[in-house]
């Protein structure tokens, strides 16, 4: 049952890819969809992932607050190093943003899958609620992958890339089931904080600048809309 929930949440990323495929010809869709995805990721990182990591680590260690902060900035630094060593070609910022979105989404889907497994095994209702929340923010993440990649690689390939990233969610649940004794609250807290750092760096350094180049107004409005959507969605879970 838990693995099916993780698969359902992961497939929501593919739904985002399909939305990007169907809407790619709509005016200002790319900057708006990227702004929406960035708003969702920043909000989830600061309101859901990082606070959960900090609370978990604070309950385990005297220096839990410091460890959470260190893990957050480690995740951001890893993305910064990747960004530095991957050269940007002129006029190719959207493709770059899409490729970095693949890395970020794949990286944080694994600990999310693990978290879903742990929550689902301990409390079926909690696991279902977590699946719903994750599925909601996976849709705009799928858009963030597919929308910028569709111009270069075609809509179908871009949508498949989003779907492939979504499959890292059930992979994380499988990892959780296979290595359950090795997955501790400490390691899970560190992974969540690192994932938050990855998502924030990706949003601020790659997705938002790329979207703003296309249309700053559409990007800004969608950014706020993404935050608002997630605020309402998480309040309902």
Q: What is the mean pLDDT of residues 9-19?
A: 88
- Judged against a pLDDT cut of 80, whether residue 146 lies above it is answered with yes
218 pLDDT above the threshold of 90: yes
Helix, strand, or coil (residue 167) = coil
pLDDT of 217 > 90? The answer is yes
- Containing 65, the helix (H) or strand (E) segment is helix 64-85
Say which residue the tokens 């794949």 belong to: 106
For 147, the domain range is 2-22+29-236
Q: What percent of the chain has pLDDT over 70?
A: 90
Residue-level pLDDT at 181: 72
pLDDT at site 73: 96
Query: Residue 141: what pLDDT?
Result: 79
Q: What is the mean pLDDT of residues 59-72?
A: 92
Read off the pLDDT of residues 110-145 as tens digits, 9 standing for 90 and up: 777 877 776 676 667 656 766 777 787 788 778 878
Q: Identify the pLDDT of residue 33.
A: 81
Q: Greater confidence, 214 or 73?
A: 73
pLDDT value of residue 52: 85
Those residues with Cβ within 8 angstroms of residue 212's Cβ, 6 or more apart along the chain or in another chain: 31, 219, 220
Q: Model pTM? A: 0.74
Of 106, 104, 97, 199, the residue nearest 150 (C-alpha):
97
pLDDT, mean of residues 142-151: 82
pLDDT cut 90: percent of the chain above it: 13
Q: For residues 62 and 67, what is the distance between their CA atoms, to the nearest angstrom?
A: 10
Query: By the 8 A CB rule, do 172 and 116 touch?
Result: yes
Count structural domains, the chain: 1
Write down the mean pLDDT value for the chain: 82
Give the tens place of pLDDT for each residue, 70-119: 999 998 998 888 777 766 665 577 777 777 778 777 777 777 787 777 66
């Amino acid at each position: 049952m838990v693995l099916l929930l993780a698969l359902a949440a992961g497939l929501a990323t593919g739904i985002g890819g399909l939305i990007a495929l169907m809407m790619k010809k709509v005016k200002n869709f790319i900057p708006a969809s990227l702004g929406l995805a960035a708003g969702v990721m920043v909000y989830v990182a600061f309101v859901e992932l990082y606070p959960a990591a900090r609370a978990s680590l604070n309950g385990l260690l005297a220096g839990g607050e410091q460890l959470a902060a260190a893990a957050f900035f480690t995740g951001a630094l890893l993305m910064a190093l990747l960004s530095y060593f991957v050269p940007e070609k002129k006029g190719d910022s959207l493709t770059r943003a899409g490729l970095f979105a693949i890395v970020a989404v794949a990286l944080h889907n694994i600990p999310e899958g693990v978290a879903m497994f742990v929550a689902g095994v301990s409390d079926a209702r909690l696991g279902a609620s977590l699946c719903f929340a994750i599925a909601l923010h996976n849709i705009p993440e799928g858009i963030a992958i597919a929308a910028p990649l569709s111009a270069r690689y075609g809509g179908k390939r871009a949508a498949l890339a989003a779907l492939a990233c979504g499959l890292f969610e059930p992979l994380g649940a499988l990892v959780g089931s296979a290595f359950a004794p090795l997955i501790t609250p400490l390691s899970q807290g560190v992974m969540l904080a690192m994932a938050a750092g990855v998502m924030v760096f990706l949003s601020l350094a790659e997705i938002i600048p790329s979207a703003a180049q296309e249309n700053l107004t559409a990007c800004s409005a969608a950014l706020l809309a993404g935050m608002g959507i997630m605020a309402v969605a998480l309040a309902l879970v």
